[in-house]
Structure 1
Amino acid sequence: MNEIVDISSFTKFQKLDIKREDLIHPFISGNKFRKLKYILKNAKEHHCKTLLTFGGAFSNHIAAVAAAGNIHSFNTIGVIRGEELESKVESNPTLAFAKLQGMQLHFVSREEYKNKETPEFKNKLTQKFGDFYSIPEGGTNDLAIQGCAEILTPQDLSYDYICVSVGTGGTIAGIVASAAAHQQVLGFSALKGTFQKEIISKYSSNKNVTLLDDFCFGGYAKIDSQLVRFINDFKNDHNIPLDPVYTGKMFYGIFDLLKNGYFRKNSSILAVHTGGLQGIAGMNKKLKKKNLPIIHV
């Protein structure tokens, strides 16, 4: 079950609340729970027994599909980007978790992975694994948008701004589709560029949305000691953990915008915590190798 937490104490002119979607489920948290809700329902209605999806070494989506498959009695297959990872499964927290949940891991080269949407690649997978229900990388499709549209509820109508971290664009597309006319949706891209605008416009004509990549820290899954320090300070101050790929960058951005007067005075802000906390363990291993400070858990 999620909850709303008020962390407005540090800001004088705005109200800032956090919607704790990360608390929905211990293994299928936040936006991954929302994205998979109707996908799993559809797979069951079509009597599918096997789910197949795609992701990288620290993918929240891979971990969530593996856990969901285990809970709902689906076989699961994860097509993983990077052949070199096959010998490193046990030392990779995300892949080790997925394997523990019963997911069969299939490793392909990074070059081959680029062709994952082609008919030829999918035919090879069918020949190897038989029939399966395919879920796209990151989980974004029409059914996922339907689930993410349920993140906002009638109780959230009082907020002027809705903030959310952005990856493939599915989560923010659902939020934009369900946001009220008076609400401004602010998306914090976890990677360079704002290509997600195309996904958003596909599912909603709502124009009250702004995408920012100013706080991506150089690109997807990139991080430095400044961001680690912010995440640790946030945990100490509010007792709420943030992940380094998505929500850490979003809250860093929100705090920076508050400091620089971006939000209207006396406005109310709702920041959606989309989860992703399983990725902290893997990121800490990378940080240790670089002799950088680690994220406190």
Structure 2
Amino acid sequence: MNQKITYQLPNGVTLEIKREDLLHSYISGNKFRKMKYNLLQAKAENQETLLTFGGAYSNHISAVAYAGKEQGFKTIGVIRGDELGDKIAENPTLSFAQECGMHFEFVTREAYRFKTEPDFIANLKDKFGSFYLVPEGGTNKYAIKGCEEILTEEDAKFDYVCCAVGTGGTISGIINSALPHQKVLGFPALKGDFLKDEIRKFAASKNWELITDYHFGGYGKVDEDLIQFINQFYKQTQVPLDPVYTGKMVFGVIDLIQKNYFPNNAKILLIHTGGLQGIQGMNALLKNKNKTLIDV
């Protein structure tokens, strides 16, 4: 569903937001897209268990846990940070995943860096037996195939398509399905240009660019300006934004519009990739620091 944004914008620029966050109550936005063909492949391989990786407040962990419950798979989450093992009850994301039946394997942050190494995976297979491995963030060829379905025929009218970038899978699918006249702009939630190489693994077109000025200090980092923007945006549009991904992207797009980055009368589509489950965890962190809470 596309929703028009009523912000007062200069130079005839218009905005609409594609509400991918409304696809599913618990497997939200790009996670729904990424899981679609991975689940079909797991069933084709006759696997009974999904194993994946993530951090304390991971949208991906939450989505895989619920998808497993919904589709009849056992689920295993390899979680970054062994100190979290005693804090599940304090963490809304991990508590939800556990309620969905996910088993956790907590590893040190140092060990987590080797999660893609063959020896690391082999040790997990020795411990848990056979499983279907879903990469951290869900990005693989099956995820890209799902994300290629985000854009539809009704989106052909847009000149620009904008989305947040985590592991690069969502934007790769969008790049592959964008039309020749469209430019895809990605807003990374992480620092650094390494994502360009990841995107090029899955997307051959050159109709895209990464805008790296709106990460707000890096993954999971926020400041008062971003929080106030998210709260004001919700009051004005009734569209909730998450602080890790989509909130930063929308902040960046509107800031660029004000700076005349886009040509006159540009038609811009924003992709809402979900992730709203992370607000509860972020608010807990903000409350501990006596900061303004996200009010959506």
| TM superposition score category, shorter chain reference | over 0.9
Identity %: 56
In the TM superposition, residue 124 of structure 1 has moved relative to its aligned partner by 1.2
Matched to 1:108, the amino acid is V
Distance 1:155 1:22 in 2: 18
Please list, as runs of the form range in 1=range in 2, the aligned pairs for 1:1-297 lying within 5 A after superposition. Answer: 3-12=1-10, 13-297=12-296
Q: Is the 8 A contact 2:21 2:272 kept in 1?
A: yes
Question: What whole-Å deviation, never above 9, does each CA across 1:233-289 have from its counterpart, x for those lacking one?
Answer: 011110110000001100110110010001110110000000000000000011011
Question: What whole-Å deviation, never above 9, does each CA across 1:123-180 have from its counterpart, x for those lacking one?
Answer: 1111111111111000000000000010001111110000000000000000001100
Matched to 1:67, the amino acid is Y
Distance 1:14 1:194 in 2: 29
Q: What secondary structure sits across from 2:157 in the alignment? A: coil
Distance 1:76 1:197 in 2: 31
Distance 1:117 1:189 in 2: 22
Distance 1:73 1:90 in 2: 24
Question: What whole-Å deviation, never above 9, does each CA across 1:63-83 have from its counterpart, x for those lacking one?
Answer: 000000000000000000000
Q: Is the 8 A contact 1:5 1:20 kept in 2?
A: yes
Q: Is the 8 A contact 1:194 1:212 kept in 2?
A: no
Distance 2:53 2:187 in 1: 23
TM-score, L = length of structure 2: 0.98
Distance 1:219 1:234 in 2: 22
Q: What secondary structure sits across from 1:242 in the alignment? A: coil
Question: What whole-Å deviation, never above 9, does each CA across 1:67-107 have from its counterpart, x for those lacking one?
Answer: 00000000000000000000000110000000000000110
Q: What secondary structure sits across from 1:237 in the alignment? A: helix
In the TM superposition, residue 204 of structure 1 has moved relative to its aligned partner by 2.4
Q: Is the 8 A contact 1:176 1:200 kept in 2?
A: no
Distance 1:241 1:170 in 2: 23
Q: What secondary structure sits across from 1:10 in the alignment? A: coil
Matched to 2:259, the amino acid is N
TM-score, L = length of structure 1: 0.98
Q: What secondary structure sits across from 2:162 in the alignment? A: strand
Unaligned runs of 5+ in 1: none
Question: What whole-Å deviation, never above 9, does each CA across 1:220-239 have from its counterpart, x for those lacking one?
Answer: 10001111110000111101
In the TM superposition, residue 9 of structure 1 has moved relative to its aligned partner by 4.1
Matched to 2:157, the amino acid is S
Q: What secondary structure sits across from 1:52 in the alignment? A: strand
Matched to 2:118, the amino acid is P
Q: Is the 8 A contact 1:288 1:294 kept in 2?
A: yes
Unaligned runs of 5+ in 2: none
Structure 1 residues 26, 194: CA separation in 2 closer, same or farther (over 3 Å shift)?
Answer: same
Distance 2:188 2:204 in 1: 20
| Count of matched residue pairs | 295
Distance 1:61 1:9 in 2: 31
